[in-house]
Amino acid sequence: MAIPHKSRRVVVTGMGALTPLGHSPDLFWEGLVEGRSGAAPITHFDTERFVTKFACEVKGFNPSDHFDRREARKMDPFAQYAVVAAAQAVEHSGLEPDKMSQDERDRTAVIIGSGIGGLQVFHEQTEGYVKHGPRRISPFFIPKLIPDIVSGHVSIRYGFRGPNYCVVSACATGNNNISDVFMMMQRGMIDAALCGGAEAAISELGIGGFNALRALSTRNDDPATASRPFDKTRDGFVLGEGAGVLVIESLERAQARGANIYAEIIGIGMSADANHITAPDPNGHGAMLAMRNMLADAHLKPEDVDYLNMHGTATPLGDIAETKSVKQVFGAHAYEMNVSSTKSMTGHLLGAAGAIEAIATIQAICNDIVPPTINFVTPDPDCDLNYTFNKPQKRRIDVAVSNAFGFGGHNTSVAFRKFVA
């Protein structure tokens, strides 16, 4: 029987992460606390002709460690990353899909998306078409390309027959997928879900496209320090790749099976800038609306928030606009709480950013540690909050928020709370 809207509590019981800092949630968290940069010269392709020659790649990933050759051929790297992260999340949660009843499978959703999808297979197949014509297009081209195929792969693997799709909202994708699961679970439509985001855009077209937008850092002489959110000398973001997947359950289901609960999701906020296809609203109005909507949905006062994982991409305009929005929403408390940008270490994972930053935010709650914003050198008078520069900070974190914004003016904000039964 469906439970009335807003009567259900929603909790996180598992996490999976494949990131530039490590291939698990724990290794990812260790890298964040150490303040380690994931940026290095690109190895995926020859960068001689490119303005930017570095990125935050997933290092040491070998598809044959996770898939047989036939299975791997059906997936673009973004899908491979997502399936591996989903497997970690299932194991981490203690779910046993093989032992789940038909009704339990029917009420388990899979909502994992990508901001871009199969960019690498698009490049490969386009080259093949130009050289050899349409007869050489692979039958796997379209299934490898579409962003929603990740949810299909994961659903098939585990037999989960609940809602199966993805939201595509550029760099807000991961947060939007978490938000959809949260709303469906509150309404009683589902009891469990795997959700998150994945991206593998470190390719000729990815780097070339973002260079054409002049969005990427070009600090080729020192990649490790290139991602420097809120620093006066920031010159653009560093492209990252990977995947993050959460297992989210209703509280009653999680407790009934004795699951470990890592955090509770308590509110979401969404909005549009209605301003520009790539540039943020310079006054931060759209981001402000998303955060205010999140606080209202979570029944929080601004002073209840201990830590904010900012979108913080290290773009000249974006960091200032987000800082303005935080001041508008939190007032004097904006200077009391900790904020940071973990993109200083991971780079910007686009459609996976919201998912891995949700994991970072949950880990911060579990460990009562604020991960740092590294690479700070030169103060920017327009960025004057407590950005937790260069070193992590130990403090009690009961409530933490994760922001994710995307090209097109998509704004999302998700609030997590330390779980109390």
Q: Which two structure tokens, joined as six digits, stand for 192?
A: 């469990």
Q: Which two structure tokens, joined as six digits, stand for 230?
A: 């809120």
Contact assessment for residue 120 and residue 200, using Cβ atoms and an 8 Å cutoff:
yes
Neighbours of 223 (CB within 10 A): 22
51's CB contacts (< 8 A; 6+ apart) are 211, 216, 218
Q: Please confirm, yes or no, whether 348 is among the known catalytic residues.
A: yes
Helices of type H across 35-186:
69-73, 77-93, 102-106, 119-132, 141-145, 149-158, 173-186
Instruction: Choose the catalytic residue: 166, 348, 383, 410.
Output: 348
Measured CA to CA in angstroms, residue 156 lies from 9, 74, 86, 149, 197 at distances of 28, 14, 12, 11, 18
* Residues paired with residue 169 on neighbouring β-strands, in sequence order: 171
Contact assessment for residue 271 and residue 290, using Cβ atoms and an 8 Å cutoff:
yes
Instruction: Choose the catalytic residue: 171, 285, 383, 410.
Output: 171
Instruction: Choose the catalytic residue: 92, 285, 311, 410.
Output: 311
Calpha distance 308→338 (Å, rounded):
6
DSSP 3-state of 416: strand
Amino acid identity of 143? Answer: P
- The conformation of residue 99, written as its DSSP 8-state character, comes to G
Q: Catalytic amino acids?
A: 171, 311, 348
